[in-house]
Structure 1
Amino acid sequence: MSLVEFSPLRPALHFTPPMGWMNDPNGLVYFEGEYHLFYQYHPHDTVWGPMHWGHAVSTDLCRWEHLPIALAPDAQGACFSGSAIVDEHDVTGLFDGQPGLLAFYTCHRVLSDDPEDYEQSQCLAYSRDKGRTWQRYASNPVLPAPGFKDFRDPKVVWHAATQRWVMALACGQEIHFYTSENLLHWQFASAFGEGHGAHTQHPWECPDLFELPVEGAKNGQATSRWVLIVGIGATPDNAFGSFTHYFVGEFDGQRFTNDHSPDDVMMMDEGRDFYAVQSWSNTSGRRLAVAWLNNWQYANHTPEAGWRGMMSLPRELTLRATSSGIQLCQRIARECHEALTAVSQSIPPQAILGVGQYSVLTSLPLVSRGVLALTLTAGSRVALSLQQGDHQQLTLEAGEEDVALRYTRNGVNGQAAFDDHFTCDHAAGSVDSLTVTIEWWCDHGSLEILVNGATQQRAISQVSFTQAKGSVDVSVLEGSVSLLEGSVVSSKEAVAQEKVASSCTN
């Protein structure tokens, strides 16, 4: 698929910047009825540059109001990624006894003409007016540069058992933990990462840390565990590019202990475009998260239209006990379902499709959610095409008791960095049943897929560029498959827009 003159449409459901460049989500916090979304932002160009904190708020996670830039570079450096919390009891003394918002960010300071000659420190900003204006803390940095380069992306959380605040920091190939009682003075506690998970030439970054109950826990199993999320950037030794993996274990307020084998690499998403994951703080029992939908291998070279970059749909995270241990599972936030209703198409059951058979199940609006349940016989191989032709394809290969997944994507735009890496063909893990449910969300510029087995789940998120209405197609390459049920739901507004676009084209 040629994308040489492609001009992307703004997504209907996904967050995008008003103009310029956007990457990592930052400072996600819920406060007084509003979800705050900050993000790494370069307002003056559509490629990465001096980092600001862009800012938007929403009451429903779907409709966002853009606010003025919260933090901009100054003489001390650029404003890299971080997190935000509510100082509910004014332990900092910055809010005259009232609750207020705190933002922890990395100050990135280049020391010479060489952009790789830099130092990083952790700084604090605060807002007394629900995040509308921000002041830098007078005694910044709260954690000065430690003497090594990569020291960034502070994630601050409350640890109830020890009644202290914890900061998780990306430090080279490790996550370092610091603790504090007043959010202003921090002490080093421990490091985690050496010999665990994935390591490349790129340092670890964008940590997140939270505790969740375990669904399906049996007698003797833990009823809650801690999750540590870590991003891995794109480097020449990593053909996949940037990706997000996670650990499940115990955190005692000082140290994180991994429940799984140190060699296990548990991907949060098997797609190419799910990075810098962050979750909202202060959400009262729900763990909601969002990621940047892009890959550093080609992020600066994707099609743009005065803006570049989008966030994933908000996802609610849970932990589930499986035969392979406790694993992180995701579902698209219910608010997204509520925003996408009105026009529905049913996909009728089809008893059995055999080798060589092909079926167009339904048309597929450009902005829509679909669900398809199917059962494969052992040894079967089935290709599922979504959106336009072979632009994106998911292949399911059945073993005796499980189904292995593989996805492919095509597209070129004449720029080497994009053409060499955007087209892909990758394994995407497996799920533990021959009956699977596939849920997908299409929007302008993206395709997000959740595949569920009996207890296991795989997520596959991909940047996608197409302006032609597609269809859901199934091809049986080996064996046979039964289609149990399915549906596609889209909004009235999306259907109306597509009719207008179609009439203009014709």
Structure 2
Amino acid sequence: MTLADFEPQRPAMHFAPPMGWMNDPNGLVFFEGEYHLFYQYHPFSTVWGPMHWGHAVSRDLCHWQHLPIALAPNEDGTCFSGSAVVDEHDVTGLFEGQPGLLAFYTCHKVLSGDPEDYQQSQCLAYSRDKGRTWQRYAGNPVLPPPGFKDVRDPKVVWHGPSQRWVMALACGQAIHFYTSHDLLAWQFASAFGEGEGAHTQHPWECPDLFELPVDGAGPNEPATRWVLVVGIGATPDNPFGSLTQYFIGAFDGQRFTNDNTADVVLMMDEGRDFYAVQSWSNTPGRQLALAWLNNWQYANQAPETGWRGTMSLPRELTLRATSRGVRLRQRFAREAGQVLSAPCHLSPRTLQTAGEHCIVVPDGEVIHGQLTLVLEAGTRLALSLQQGSQQRLWLTASDAETLLHYERQGRIGQAAFDEYFACDHAAGSVDGLTVTVTWWCDHGTLEMLVDGATEQRSITQVSFVDHRRQPVTLDVVSGRVEVAEGVIQSVVE
């Protein structure tokens, strides 16, 4: 499938920059009724370059107002990824006793004509006007260069039991934790990562850290666990490119302890395009997050029409106890439902080995759907949500679980894109033979959540396809499947 002449349309539901290049989400924070979304931004090109912090706000996570650039490069360097928090009690002394916004970011400074000759330090900016304008802290950097190159992406969170702020910082192949009482002076606490989880030749990136209650925890099990999210960079030894792993464990305000053995690798998404995950701070009762919906292996070569880069839909994160341990679960933020049409319900039906079955042809350009399938053991079928893109999710039922496999085709005549964009890979499994697939199809994107009895897989993919009236089809190769229930909706705006 050639994409050489494909012209991307702006997504209706997914955030995209007004122009130019966008990658990692930064500084996600909720403050005085507004969700702030900052992002790595190069406004003067559609390929990666000197990093700025772009900025937008929303009151409902669906409609975004673009604001002026928050941070731009200066003589100290460019502005790499970071996070934002509310200084509720003015512990920094920067807000005259009132609440204010703080943004922590990595200052990336190239020291010579060689772009690989650089140093990175952690800096602070603050806003006294709800994020509309930003000033750099006079005492920058709050963490100077440590003597090695790759130290970046500060994620700052409040740790209630110790009454301190914690910074998780990507440092080479590990995450370093720092603590502070005033958000200005930081002390090293511990390091996590050596020999733990997945590593590639590229440094770890974009950490996130948060605590969640555990649904289904037993009477003798902890009621909450901490989640540490880490990005795995794209390198020759990592054929899948940019991936996101997570760890489940305990955090005492200084040290993270992994619940699983060091060789256990937990992936936040089984697709190719879910990277640099960050959650919003200051959202009590909810853990909302989103990711850059792309992959460094082909992001700079993807089709574009004056802008490049898309964010995933905001998702709410929870934890659930399973037979394999505590696992992270995701669901699309409920706010997205406010822009959907009345649901079109599908009648239950039984499908057997009989070729391709068209389930429904939706009327709309952006499609949200949910389909519950009951498979007999030995059944193998393909679910196609975007026919023209030649993307299919294969489901194969064993005696007690359903195996998932994903494939995608597409080329544009550029080697860097054509080598990596097409994929054909295992996407894990879910427990049981009753599977519910929830999805969003928007211009340039396909996001799926696949739920079993207690387990879940997320599969997120860039998708260059005309989204108008794409049929949803099931191709039963062997066995028997019951379509128990289903609903499809489109965006009405």
1:336 is the counterpart of 2:344? no
Report if the CA contact (8 A) 1:406-1:426 is conserved: yes
Report if the CA contact (8 A) 2:20-2:46 is conserved: yes
**Counterpart selection for 1:358 from 356, 359, 364:** 356
1:426 is the counterpart of 2:413? no
Q: Which runs of 5+ in 1 are unaligned?
A: 494-506
- Residue 369 of structure 1 corresponds to 368
Partner of 1:335: helix, strand, or coil?
A: helix
- Residue 221 of structure 1 corresponds to 221
Between the aligned partners of 2:424 and 2:469, the Cα distance in structure 1 is: 23
Partner of 1:241: helix, strand, or coil?
A: coil
Report if the CA contact (8 A) 1:28-1:35 is conserved: yes
Between the aligned partners of 2:388 and 2:484, the Cα distance in structure 1 is: 23
Between the aligned partners of 1:112 and 1:275, the Cα distance in structure 2 is: 30
Q: Deviations over 1:411-452 (max 9, x none)?
A: 111111111110000111100010010111010000000000
Report if the CA contact (8 A) 2:79-2:106 is conserved: yes
1:82-121 matches, within 5 Å, as 82-121=82-121
Report if the CA contact (8 A) 2:389-2:464 is conserved: no
Between the aligned partners of 1:303 and 1:343, the Cα distance in structure 2 is: 33
Between the aligned partners of 2:323 and 2:220, the Cα distance in structure 1 is: 15
Report if the CA contact (8 A) 1:127-1:133 is conserved: yes
1:228-247 matches, within 5 Å, as 228-247=228-247
- Residue 295 of structure 1 corresponds to 295
AA aligned to 2:301 is: H
Identity of aligned residues (%): 70
1:159 is the counterpart of 2:159? yes
Q: Which runs of 5+ in 2 are unaligned?
A: none
How much has 1:390 moved relative to structure 2?
Answer: 5.6
1:43 is the counterpart of 2:4? no
Between the aligned partners of 2:116 and 2:333, the Cα distance in structure 1 is: 39
TM-score by length of structure 1 reads 0.96
AA aligned to 1:395 is: W
Between the aligned partners of 2:23 and 2:132, the Cα distance in structure 1 is: 21
How much has 1:5 moved relative to structure 2?
Answer: 1.1
- Residue 461 of structure 2 corresponds to 462
How much has 1:184 moved relative to structure 2?
Answer: 0.4
- Residue 405 of structure 1 corresponds to 404
Partner of 1:91: helix, strand, or coil?
A: coil
- Residue 284 of structure 1 corresponds to 284
- Residue 191 of structure 1 corresponds to 191
Moved more, 459-468 or 28-37: 459-468
How much has 1:219 moved relative to structure 2?
Answer: 1.5
Between the aligned partners of 1:77 and 1:16, the Cα distance in structure 2 is: 25
Between the aligned partners of 1:4 and 1:282, the Cα distance in structure 2 is: 43
AA aligned to 1:138 is: A
Report if the CA contact (8 A) 1:343-1:492 is conserved: no
Report if the CA contact (8 A) 1:376-1:481 is conserved: yes
Between the aligned partners of 1:218 and 1:280, the Cα distance in structure 2 is: 29
Q: Deviations over 1:291-330 (max 9, x none)?
A: 0000000000111010000100000000000000000000
Between the aligned partners of 1:337 and 1:257, the Cα distance in structure 2 is: 38
Partner of 1:470: helix, strand, or coil?
A: coil
Report if the CA contact (8 A) 1:28-1:280 is conserved: yes
TM-score by length of structure 2 reads 0.98
1:260-275 matches, within 5 Å, as 260-275=260-275
Report if the CA contact (8 A) 1:343-1:491 is conserved: no
Between the aligned partners of 1:110 and 1:357, the Cα distance in structure 2 is: 58
Between the aligned partners of 1:366 and 1:262, the Cα distance in structure 2 is: 44
- Residue 77 of structure 1 corresponds to 77
- Residue 443 of structure 2 corresponds to 444
Between the aligned partners of 1:479 and 1:66, the Cα distance in structure 2 is: 51
- Residue 348 of structure 1 corresponds to 347
AA aligned to 2:260 is: H
Partner of 1:417: helix, strand, or coil?
A: helix
How much has 1:392 moved relative to structure 2?
Answer: 1.0
Partner of 1:383: helix, strand, or coil?
A: strand
Between the aligned partners of 1:347 and 1:204, the Cα distance in structure 2 is: 44
How much has 1:476 moved relative to structure 2?
Answer: 1.1
AA aligned to 2:470 is: G
- Residue 64 of structure 1 corresponds to 64
Between the aligned partners of 2:446 and 2:250, the Cα distance in structure 1 is: 34
Report if the CA contact (8 A) 2:365-2:491 is conserved: no
- Residue 497 of structure 1 corresponds to none
Report if the CA contact (8 A) 2:155-2:169 is conserved: yes
- Residue 501 of structure 1 corresponds to none
1:9 is the counterpart of 2:9? yes
AA aligned to 1:289 is: A
Which 4+ stretches in 1 moved above 6 angstroms?
Answer: none
Between the aligned partners of 1:254 and 1:192, the Cα distance in structure 2 is: 11
Between the aligned partners of 2:395 and 2:234, the Cα distance in structure 1 is: 27
How much has 1:355 moved relative to structure 2?
Answer: 2.2
AA aligned to 1:301 is: Q
Moved more, 244-253 or 359-368: 359-368
- Residue 378 of structure 1 corresponds to 377
